[in-house]
Structure 1
């Protein structure tokens, strides 16, 4: 599978994301996804956790946010963020593919700016399909791909169908 980026590269990316999140808060993007209290969510490729606080707040105390990343520094940053913000409904997963989550257990997967960097994206899509509930949503964005490419890559395997195109994300439904 994939290897984590260097620590230096990761910290540079994290710094850039902090600036990005200050300019355009992640909550605005997540409001488009229609997260409801009680939702069980996976942030796949969570990085330093830019979406985690907003997702945890929107899911509420009855919900759960799993933050998965291949980079140990990402996991440590998310743990620290959850501790500092007292986010009791956040759990981290250090992995490149296998989530360890039960089948059909999640309402939503956030899959943002990660797809283009994966060596085996179909393997990841199968895992995300496995853990989503029937009718669950895969919220997708990747600024490195064109719209036609996004729709083709996510629907050609017969696992997902395009449900809605928003201003910032594409919502795919588990078939």
Structure 2
């Protein structure tokens, strides 16, 4: 009876995980208010990368994307989401090596996808301001002034690879539980 109950919960856990992994990805909208960048490297040159000019603060920009990234378009089902804060220097390694950045955060859906958000607010970048004789402190695009540039990098995995990894994880969990039970029962086994 106990083994059947344990197998039932493992199977339920597996199928709930499968459901989570095959849910459609959230649609990432344009940053409002903002202006979508048309500079080289911010459009189609690097797959999954795009950028915006905006007057939103770091917190407002992150919250804008986090709110929309947390839910699947299928019935608005909430997705497991973690927010990671990375050193800004990592943006040059993961997005592009010419990127200025003074904050770099990642929104993660475990085993599914990540949205990296890199922001550069020149007026708040002390290193940049100290090193330049005539630093820019805002961006003028089509006559409008913006104080920040937000660059996004969306990293996705295929549904097949998600299912393959999830199945492997569950197979290992099943094997480990069975082996652990054998080890714990061994001292009390009748000879």
TM superposition score category, shorter chain reference: under 0.3
TM (norm. structure 1) is 0.27
TM (norm. structure 2) is 0.25
